Amino acid sequence: MSKKIIMDCDPGHDDAIALILAGAQNSSLDILAVTTVAGNQSVEKNTKNALNVLEVMGRGDINVSVGATRPLLKPASFASEIHGDSGLDGPKLPEVPALKPTQKQAVDVIIETLKQSEEPVTLVATGPLTNIATVLIKEPNITQYIDSITIMGGGTFGNWTPTAEFNIWVDAEAAKRVFESGVRINVFGLDVTHQVLATDQVIGGFREIHNPIADFVVELLEFFKSTYKTHFNMDGGPIHDACTVLYLMEPELFTMQHTHIDIEHQSLLTYGTMSIDLNDVTNKEKNAFFATAVNVPKVWKLMNKMLASYGKNNS
Ligand code: RIB
Ligand code: CA
């Protein structure tokens, strides 16, 4: 039985890989909709990238709807130094995508899709949580239709400030609202995503698959690796966002701890910091499952299998 998901994203190299894995022929996930949000780049650029990636995947059957142009309160902040000016630098992609977005706003599409589904739907969020928070604010009773909110974000350390991770830092007010929703939240933070590094050796393995999608992923990862070397002196690009869909396909790849998570949204110094009460010192209600460990070899094994499932002609 496939698990129904909606992917809210800001492609973004690792968002693109999450889409490719979730949309693979042998995926156990059924993507009902893709929605885009301002984050890595403007929502216009992120939407163009999502459309181009779905075209490369041969998944023009999946609709893309445009979301928030900026966070709930703050002005927009982009990560051009990591993902490039296009938001998906590296591979050569059409300036005008063959696919077009829907005319509906992302938040309305998420609400409609949730209500129309015959079973609860998992919201996969791999960018700032602006769209997800807006859904919860606009339609408080929507939580009954949500199986879980599974996010890439946060962690016990930061990559955008010393203590804040980018997705949470872009819109901490939105993140706080999501963690107060009462919905099950699965959190993949930097503690695990910085362990799944696409190094030369890992990329070399994907290069041996020899199909157009694997070749496309190699191009994505070569660029991503280069910016992580420049900015973080890391020997591989962390496939942050892919951890969400890999967990949904094979939960046993990750160790999850039930804990209390809150988000700092008032401090100038620590805005966007994720407070994760792993030692239960506050004795507050546990509202999230936080990934504390990952089986890295099994991640690459699964990713290889998913990429190899794409045919020689992307279908
Ligand atoms: O901090 C990593 C996150 O920020 C990932 O989702 C990446 O795509 C960027 O959005
Ligand atoms: Ca992302």
- Tell me what the mean pLDDT of segment 94-100 comes to: 97
pLDDT interval class at 314 (50, 70, 90)? low
Measured between alpha carbons, how far is residue 4 from residues 22, 121, 123 in Å?
10, 5, 9
* Mean pLDDT of all residues belonging to the chain: 97
- For residue 118, the CA-to-ligand 1 centroid distance in Å is 31
- Rounded CA-CA distance 131/37 in Å is 7
Q: Residue range 266-283: average pLDDT? A: 98
Other C-beta atoms within 10 Å of 212: how many? Answer: 16
Mean local confidence (pLDDT), 234-247: 98
What is the distance in A from the centroid of ligand 1 to the CA of 127? 6
Whole-number Å distance, alpha carbon 39 to ligand 1 midpoint, is: 8
Q: How far apart are CA 51 and CA 29, in angstroms?
A: 19
Whole-prediction pTM value? Answer: 0.98
Respond yes or no: is residue 240 known to be catalytic. Answer: yes
Choose the catalytic residue: 240, 258, 260, 265: 240
Distance, CA of 249 to CA of 252 (rounded, Å):
9
**Matching residue, tokens 């507050």:** 284
Ordered by start, the domain boundaries in the chain are 3-308
Mean pLDDT, rounded, for 176-202: 98
- pLDDT tens digits, residue range 14-40? 999 999 999 998 999 999 999 999 999
Pocket-testing residue among 42, 161, 239, 241, ligand 1, by greatest number of atoms within 8 A of Cβ:
241
* Residue pair 10/40 in contact by the 8 Å Cβ criterion: yes
pLDDT greater than 70 at residue 313: no
Give the residue-averaged pLDDT of 44-72. Answer: 98
The structure tokens listed for 101 are 């977005």
Which residue has the least CA distance to atom 1 on ligand 1? 166
Interacting residues of 208 by C-beta distance below 8 A, sequence separation 6+: none
CATH 3.90.245.10 fits 3-308, yes or no: yes
Contacts of 93 by beta carbon, 8 Å cutoff, 6+ apart: 49, 52, 56, 86
Give the pLDDT confidence score for residue 1 in this predicted structure. 79
Q: Which residues line ligand 1 (CB under 6 A)?
A: 10, 12, 14-15, 39-40, 79, 126-127, 152, 159, 165-167, 240-241
Q: How far is CA 281 from CA 259, 260, 278, in A?
A: 10, 10, 8
pLDDT digits (tens, 9 = 90+) for 110-142: 999 999 999 999 999 999 999 999 999 999 999
Helices and strands (H and E) in the chain: how many: 12, 12
Q: Are 88 and 46 in contact (CB under 8 A)?
A: no
